[in-house]
């Protein structure tokens, strides 16, 4: 049971959580938004490279058991063919939206991604999950009081009917991206080639960072073949393409760069995002 005051207080707390431009009303009419702001709202929220920020104190935090267990469950789900890493990276780092992305702990997002994929792929019902959460919470109702946190499954399922992906079998003994080797034909670019990163429209997902789009770089390495992240992340048949490590001169890349003219940043980009520099 909660009191009316407690409910009001929680709503007040939620109301202070802002992830919108303060100059705009909530759900603005289309005439109030320009292309730049629409792009900003649609930007995959994990793509933070180059966003301004002030120095902060870097420190470690005691690693908590649930954080470790969350890492493990994510990896085991990939091992057992429930999702690809690329699905996990999208669901936990982008699909969560800006408020949760910036507001929740790192492994909190990983864990929500686990719940999300299991529900979305029909492995677990959401009510079933809520009821189990209530049950677990009740087990530790009086506080931990020295009790170990532990999962106590009521049974062990046989799992033979669980729908699993192809990847977890075909990648065995090869690795990823090696499992895609030989499927992309000849690479279009070679080391030393000057390229421009295309400015493709982005909705939902990409791993080509915004900070290099529209800029000129140089191929530093022809890396491997793989489907592009935005194709692989939906676990549907996708054609592998070549990936390249592309080198960007930071004094050209960044307005007002304060380092030397030789400093570079390198990042990995799939072929369809690149074109030969004019």
Partner 1 sequence: MTDHGHDHDRTVKPMVDEITDFEVLEIALRELCIEKGIFTAEEHRRFTEFAEQIGPTPAAHLVAKAWLDPEFKKLALAEPMTASKEVGVDWMEPTGFGTPSDFTAFQILANTPTVHNVIVCALCSCYPRPILGNSPEWYRTPNYRRRLVRWPRQVLAEFGLYLPDEISVHVQDSNQKHRFMVMPLRPEGTQDWTEAQLVEIITRDCLIGVALPKAGVTTNVITDTRPAVHPGTAG
Q: Which of residues 11-40 bind partner 1 (CB under 8 A)?
A: none
Instruction: By CB under 8 A, tell whether 113 contacts partner 1.
Output: no
* Distant-in-sequence, close-in-space partners of 171: CB < 8 Å, separation ≥ 6: 179
- The CA distance from 56 to 240, in Å, is 40
Site for partner 1 in 240-259 (CB under 8 A): 243, 245, 250, 254, 257-259
Find the shortest distance in angstroms from Cβ 155 to partner 1: 5
> Which phi-psi region, left, alpha or beta, contains residue 255 (left: φ > 0; alpha: ψ -120 to 50)?
beta
Reply yes or no on whether 106 is catalytic: yes
Residue selected from 126, 149, 191, 203 as contacting partner 1 according to rule CB under 8 A = 149
- Over the window 49 to 88, marking each residue x when it contacts partner 1 by CB under 8 A and - when it does not, the resulting string is xxxxx-xxxxxxxxxxxx-xxxxxxxxxxxxx-x-xx--x
Least spacing, CB of residue 31 vs partner 1, in Å: 32
- DSSP structure class, residue 88: H
DSSP state of 43: S
* Residue nearer to partner 1 on the CB measure, 24 or 132: 132
Structure tokens at 238: 């996708």
The position carrying tokens 């959580």 is: 17
Residues 183-212 contacting partner 1, CB under 8 A: 207, 209, 211
Binding residue for partner 1, selected from 20, 98, 176, 222, defined by CB under 8 A:
176
User: What sign does the dihedral 204-89-208-261 (CA atoms) show?
Assistant: positive
Nearest approach in angstroms of CB 258 to partner 1 is: 7
Q: Please, are residues 162 and 123 in contact by the beta-carbon 8 Å criterion?
A: yes
End-to-end CA distance of the chain: 67
Are 247 and 266 a contacting pair, CB within 8 Å?
yes
Position 97 contacts partner 1 (CB under 8 A): no
| Span interacting with partner 1, options 2-10, 27-35, 105-113, 187-195, rule CB under 8 A | 105-113
Residue in 106, 211, 224, 257 annotated catalytic:
106
Which range binds partner 1 by CB under 8 A, 17-25, 35-43, 102-110, 182-190?
102-110
Q: What are the C-alpha distances in Å from 133 to residues 96, 115, 151, 153?
A: 20, 11, 11, 13
User: Binder to partner 1 among 20, 33, 99, 124 (CB under 8 A)?
Assistant: 124
Choose between 68 and 198: whose C-beta lies nearer to partner 1. 68
> Which of 91, 95, 96, 114 is the binder for partner 1 (CB under 8 A)?
114
Q: How far is CA 143 from the centre of its chain?
A: 34
Distance, in Å, from the CA atom of 113 to the CA atom of 67, rounded to the nearest integer, reads 13
132 binds partner 1 (CB under 8 A): yes
Residues marked as catalytic: 106
């Amino acid at each position: 049971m909660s009191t009316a005051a407690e409910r009001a207080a929680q709503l007040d707390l939620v109301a202070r959580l802002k992830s919108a431009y303060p100059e705009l009303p909530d759900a603005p009419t289309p005439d109030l938004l320009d292309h730049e702001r629409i792009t900003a709202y649609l930007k995959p929220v994990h793509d933070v490279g180059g966003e301004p920020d002030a120095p902060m104190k870097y420190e470690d935090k005691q690693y908590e058991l649930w954080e470790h267990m969350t890492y493990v469950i994510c990896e085991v789900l990939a091992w057992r063919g429930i999702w690809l890493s690329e699905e996990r990276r999208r669901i936990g780092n982008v699909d969560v939206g800006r408020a949760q992305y910036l507001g929740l702990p790192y492994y909190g997002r990983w864990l929500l991604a686990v719940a999300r994929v299991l529900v979305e792929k029909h492995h677990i019902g959401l009510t079933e999950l809520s009821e189990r959460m209530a049950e677990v919470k009740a087990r530790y109702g009086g506080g931990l009081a020295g009790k170990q946190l532990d999962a106590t499954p009521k049974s062990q399922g046989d799992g033979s009917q669980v729908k699993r992906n192809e990847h977890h079998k075909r990648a065995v003994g090869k690795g990823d991206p090696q499992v895609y080797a030989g499927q992309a034909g000849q690479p279009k670019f070679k080391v030393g080639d000057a390229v421009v990163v295309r400015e493709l429209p982005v909705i939902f997902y990409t791993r080509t960072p915004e900070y290099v789009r529209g800029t000129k770089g140089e191929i530093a390495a022809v890396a491997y073949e793989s489907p592009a992240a935005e194709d692989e992340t939906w676990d549907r048949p996708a054609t592998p393409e070549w990936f390249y490590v592309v080198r960007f001169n930071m004094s050209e890349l960044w307005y007002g760069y304060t380092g030397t003219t030789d400093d570079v940043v390198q990042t990995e980009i799939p072929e369809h995002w690149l074109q030969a520099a004019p």
